[in-house]
Copies of this chain bind each other. A is one copy, B any other.
């Protein structure tokens, strides 16, 4: 049983929450807690053992916690995701493999691509692929076509796995804290297009990748995970792209594992991640 709670901080919150569990004879196996003392916010994630009714627990927590507390008892254990792609295979393939062998912690409902390049790999794994070209088309029309597909396929999260089109704020606002992107740089360095070319020109010795929630401010949403790899003078810009793909795959996989296991809280423009 997993319990995640975010609310305004005050004295006695942990006692109140764990008191509810103790009364229900539920044993806490592990517990991570964080208070942002600047923003006065409280975050807790509890893994517990013991049978209990989730709805009743939810009500009992609500009774002892501040109003507007965000309480999830047993959040959906197997989330559903939709993956957006363009032409690059590495992130999508990693997701498809994990989905196929049931180690993703989610079910891939379908894949939406603005090019047909990755249709074949989806079909090999029996995952529906929807081709939605963006060319010769208003952005609004393009996004509405994708929205239709999203509506027909329930999804907890939309995963931009190297989707090379910028989604409009109107689109993003429909899925608050539900769109995850992999950005091909160690944000906030090299914001925007062609970061590897920028990294090459600058002569950096490390390149990175960042997985983040998408907000309407491009590349500025809450960061979930970041990682780097060393590079050197012998790397051409295209070598950096190649090395970058390995790290993009790893960082997106890690971010999904964290989000899909309810280990990530978002507030302001930041995350609390209980790894």
Kindly report which residue of chain B lies nearest to residue A20, judged by CB atoms.
B15
| Interface residue A112 (Cβ < 8 Å from any Cβ of B) | no
**A188 CA / B196 CA spacing, docked (Å):** 13
Complex formed: what's the CA distance from A224 to B206 in Å? 11
List the one stretch of A21-29, A76-84, A140-148, A168-176 in contact with chain B. Answer: A21-29
Q: Are B22 and A271 in contact (CB under 8 A)?
A: no
Q: What is the minimal beta-carbon distance from A241 to any residue of chain B, in angstroms? A: 12
Q: Which of B11, B28, B234, B275 contacts A26 (CB 8 A)?
A: B11
Contacts of A205 in B (CB 8 A): 223-226, 273
Known: A204-B226, A232-B273. A27 touches B15 (CB 8 A): no
A interface with B by C-beta (< 8 Å): 9-16, 18-19, 21-22, 25-37, 50, 89, 93-94, 97, 100-101, 121, 124-125, 186-190, 202-206, 208, 222-228, 232-234, 246, 250, 253, 269-273, 275
Between-chain CB contacts (< 8 Å), 24 pairs: A9-B27, A10-B27, A11-B27, A12-B18, A14-B14, A15-B19, A18-B18, A29-B37, A30-B34, A32-B33, A89-B97, A94-B97, A186-B206, A187-B189, A187-B202, A187-B204, A188-B202, A202-B269, A203-B271, A205-B224, A205-B226, A228-B228, A233-B273, A246-B253
